[in-house]
């Protein structure tokens, strides 16, 4: 009945109350603690921190709990909080060569200074469901050895010594682009593009990266190096005149090494695709590196033939908070517009019927 649209206020209140009830679930089951989420669903926290653009495990855990485990909803919660925080400035670039490495692998060299370290990886596990995890069984402490403090050199630096790979590129200015503070413009500078990719949806970038491997802008990639570990974040304080360390964050870095035949602009050499993500997220870092390389097509003078190379297409659709908002807004009322369409379709159908009737009644003059 007409009254159906009334009472929005009470309906919203009751819906939220029901949501809180479903979030809690069966009251006889203990409530999840944030510590449990941080410790035991660490990779979910990492994804929420990365795409939410805030490095804070506890807040990520809170967002995951509040979102009932819906990670995109959790990312949204964190973003909406982030945007209210004051900005003090931008940190110094993190130096991943000085990373305290927990995992470091290269697919291009069998052995290299600093060694290959598998770290806590799913790789080479057999994906057999493990019923013992259903119980709270004691887990052995990991093997540990004393780390040597010599930093592991980057694989890209090995190639760079011979001039086989392009240089890292010069930064034009001290100012770093920030798409959360300035309106997005195309074409983008690479720093802003990398920021967009780092915040971008893992699934979307994964699919685009995959498409480049299947021939839509093939880039012959090699995983030159993937490293996961902790880096210092330094902040230059003008009053002090030097940079101080604010703390450490865990990041995943991927350097893709891509074949490049050379062009009118550049000699044949390997080119780079770069991925850097908060936390441990190799899939995202690798997908990001593939996309970064594909998006450098114009810069390297390559033909733009595939979706992954199309900056406006990729960057405009990579943000899952924007995407989910606009897709899901279709459930908001649209009856005013629908009424307008109804009216038009009815009118056009009426005209169609009248036209057909007049035709039917006409003598068959053509014969």
Partner 1 sequence: MTIGTDDGLATYNFAYLDEQTKRMIRRAILKGIAIPGYQVPFASREMPMPYGWGTGGVQVTASIIGPDDVLKVIDQGADDTTNAVSIRAFFAKVADVETTTETAKASIIQTRHRIPEEKLKDGQILVYQVPIPEPLRFLEPRETETRKMHALAEYGLMHVKLYEDIAKNGHIATTYAYPVKVEDRYVMDPSPTPKFDNPKMHMSDALQLFGAGREKRIYAVPPHTKVVSLDFEDYPFEIQTFEEPCAMCGAQGVYLDEVILDDRGGRMFVCSDTDYCEKRREDGHRGHLAGDAMEAAE
Determine if 14 is a binding residue for partner 1 (CB under 8 A).
no
Q: Is 34 in the site for partner 1 (CB under 8 A)?
A: no
- Is residue 298 within 8 Å of 187, Cβ to Cβ? yes
By the rule CB under 8 A, 2 interacts with partner 1: yes
Indicate the residue among 177 and 224 with the shorter CB distance to partner 1: 177
Q: Does 358 bind partner 1 (CB under 8 A)?
A: no
How far is the C-alpha of 339 from the C-alpha of 135, rounded, in Å?
57
Q: Is 176 in the site for partner 1 (CB under 8 A)?
A: no
CA separation for the pair 173, 323 (Å, rounded): 32
Q: Which of 252, 328, 343 is nearest to 289 (CA)?
A: 252
56: Cβ–Cβ under 8 A, 6 or more apart, which residues?
49
The DSSP output letter for 165 is: B
Per rule CB under 8 A, is residue 174 in the interface with partner 1?
Answer: no
What x-and-dash track marks residues 180-219 binding partner 1 by CB under 8 A? xxxxxxxx--------------------------------
> Are 156 and 224 spatial neighbours (Cβ–Cβ below 8 Å)?
yes
Helix, strand, coil share of the chain (percent; to 5): 45, 15, 45
Query: Hunting for tokens 């709270």 — which residue is that?
Result: 136
Q: Is 230 buried (19+), middle (13-18) or exposed (0-12) by CB count in 10 A?
A: middle
Question: Is residue 18 at the binding interface for partner 1, with CB under 8 A as the rule?
Answer: no
367 touches partner 1 (CB under 8 A) = no
Strand-pairing partners, residue 232, are 248
Q: Could you say which of 82, 98, 190, 220 contacts partner 1 (CB under 8 A)?
A: 82
Least distance between partner 1 and beta carbon 108 (Å):
37
For partner 1, which stretch binds (CB under 8 A), given 120-128, 153-161, 178-186, 235-243? Answer: 178-186
For partner 1, the closer CB: 130 or 185? 185
Encoded tokens for 99: 């990373």
Number of chain residues interacting with partner 1 (CB under 8 A): 51
Out of 351, 353, 354, 357, the only residue in the binding site for partner 1 (CB under 8 A) is 351
| Residue ranges binding partner 1 (CB under 8 A) | 1-3, 5-9, 11-12, 76, 79-80, 82-84, 86, 179-187, 312, 316, 321-322, 324-329, 332-337, 339-344, 347-348, 351
């Amino acid at each position: 009945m007409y009254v159906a649209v009334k009472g929005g206020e009470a309906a919203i209140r009751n819906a939220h109350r029901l949501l809180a009830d479903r979030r809690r679930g069966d009251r006889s089951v203990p409530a999840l603690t944030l510590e449990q989420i941080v410790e035991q669903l660490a990779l979910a926290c990492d994804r929420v921190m990365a795409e939410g653009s805030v490095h804070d495990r506890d807040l990520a855990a809170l967002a995951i709990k509040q979102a009932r485990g819906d990670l995109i909803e959790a990312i949204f919660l964190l973003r909406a909080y982030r945007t209210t925080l004051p900005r003090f400035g931008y940190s110094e670039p993190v130096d991943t060569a000085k990373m305290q490495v927990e995992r470091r692998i290269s697919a291009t060299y069998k052995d290299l200074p600093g060694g290959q370290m598998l770290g806590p990886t799913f790789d080479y596990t057999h994906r057999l469901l493990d019923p013992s995890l259903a119980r709270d069984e004691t887990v052995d402490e990991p093997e540990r050895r004393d780390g040597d403090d010599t930093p592991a050199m980057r694989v890209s630096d090995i190639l760079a010594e011979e001039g086989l790979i392009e240089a890292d590129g010069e930064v034009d200015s001290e100012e770093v682009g920030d798409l959360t503070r300035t309106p997005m413009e195309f074409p983008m500078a690479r720093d802003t593009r990398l920021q967009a990719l780092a915040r971008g949806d893992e699934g979307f970038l994964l699919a685009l990266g995959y498409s480049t491997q299947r021939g839509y802008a093939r880039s012959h990639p090699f995983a030159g190096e993937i490293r996961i570990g902790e880096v210092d974040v330094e902040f230059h304080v003008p009053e002090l005149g030097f940079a101080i360390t604010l703390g450490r964050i865990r990041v995943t870095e991927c350097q893709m090494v891509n074949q490049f035949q050379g062009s009118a602009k550049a000699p044949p050499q390997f080119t780079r695709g770069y991925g850097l993500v908060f936390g441990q997220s190799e899939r995202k870092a690798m997908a990001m590196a593939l996309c970064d390389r594909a998006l450098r097509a114009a810069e390297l003078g390559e033909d733009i033939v595939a979706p992954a190379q199309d900056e406006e297409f990729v960057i405009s659709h990579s943000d899952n908070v924007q995407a989910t908002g606009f897709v899901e807004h279709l459930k908001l009322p649209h009856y005013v517009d629908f009424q307008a369409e109804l009216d038009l379709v009815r009118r056009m159908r009426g005209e169609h019927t009248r036209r057909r009737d007049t035709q039917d009644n006409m003598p068959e003059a053509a014969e």
